[in-house]
């Protein structure tokens, strides 16, 4: 079960990022109640994935808005960050341990093309695997330019 008022909280957090998202979803224990003795749900990290059609342009805008979110790679620019994102690991670039609106979040950025390929072909199942569990859609746009 999703935590109460999560939609409002998600929209408020998303307002801190460039608007060009084709899809954004939140997942994990910060979004859904977890069984077990531990959980202080109010303080659990919120995990997001942002899907973007043009990662270079999106990272460029996000660097202007949120320079402090990035590791040292920020000094190499959005093209380099996108090269790392697309060519190493699972095609996603994460900015972890970000304080946003009083909540600790992490967010990954993936290109729309790579997400669709992973969903269709299970290339590495990293992001597709996140969607095997409950996820809360925060932003959706119509995918264009792709034949499924």
> Which pLDDT score, from 0 to 100, does residue 144 have?
54
> For residue range 99-125, what is the model confidence (pLDDT) as tens digits?
998 899 999 999 999 999 999 999 999
Examine residue 148 and state whether it is found in any structural domain, yes or no. Answer: no
Which region among 5-9, 69-73, 83-87, 107-111 has the lowest average model confidence (pLDDT)?
A: 5-9
37 is a domain residue: no
Cα dihedral angle (80, 141, 65, 70), rounded to 10 degrees?
-40
Q: Is residue 58 part of a domain?
A: yes
pLDDT digits (tens, 9 = 90+) for 24-67: 999 887 776 666 655 556 678 899 999 999 999 999 999 999 99
**CA 74: distance to chain centroid?**
18
Structural domain of residue 69, as residue ranges? Answer: 6-32+43-140
Domain membership of residue 103 (yes or no) is yes
Is the backbone of residue 133 left (phi > 0), alpha (psi -120 to 50) or beta?
A: beta
| Number of domains composing the chain | 1
Question: Of the segments 65-69, 113-117, 127-131, 134-138, which one has the largest average pLDDT value?
Answer: 65-69
Are the CB atoms for 91 and 113 separated by under 8 Å?
no
* Confidence label for 138 from pLDDT (cuts 50, 70 and 90): confident
126 occurs within a structural domain: yes
DSSP assigned state of 43: G
Query: Within a domain: residue 145?
Result: no
In sequence order, which residues have a C-beta less than 8 Å from that of residue 124 and are 6 or more positions away?
90, 91, 118
119 within some domain: yes
pTM: predicted TM-score of the whole model, two decimal places: 0.85
Average pLDDT score over the chain: 86
Strand-by-strand arrangement of the 135-140 sheet: 92-100, 103-111, 46-52, 23-27, 135-140
Question: Considering the domain boundaries, does residue 38 fall inside one?
Answer: no
């Amino acid at each position: 079960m999703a935590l109460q008022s999560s939609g409002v909280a998600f929209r408020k957090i998303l307002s801190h990022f460039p608007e060009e998202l084709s899809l954004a979803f939140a997942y994990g224990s910060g979004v859904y109640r977890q069984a077990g003795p531990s959980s202080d749900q109010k303080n659990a990290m919120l995990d997001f994935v942002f899907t973007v059609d043009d990662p270079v342009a999106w990272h460029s805008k996000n660097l202007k808005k949120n320079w402090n979110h990035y590791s040292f790679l920020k000094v190499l620019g959005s093209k380099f960050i996108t090269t790392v994102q697309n060519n190493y690991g699972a095609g996603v670039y994460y900015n972890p341990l970000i304080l946003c609106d009083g909540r600790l979040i992490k967010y990954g950025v993936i290109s729309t093309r790579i997400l669709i390929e992973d969903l269709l072909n299970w290339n590495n199942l990293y992001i597709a695997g996140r969607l095997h569990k409950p996820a809360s859609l925060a932003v959706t746009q119509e995918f264009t330019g792709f034949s499924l």
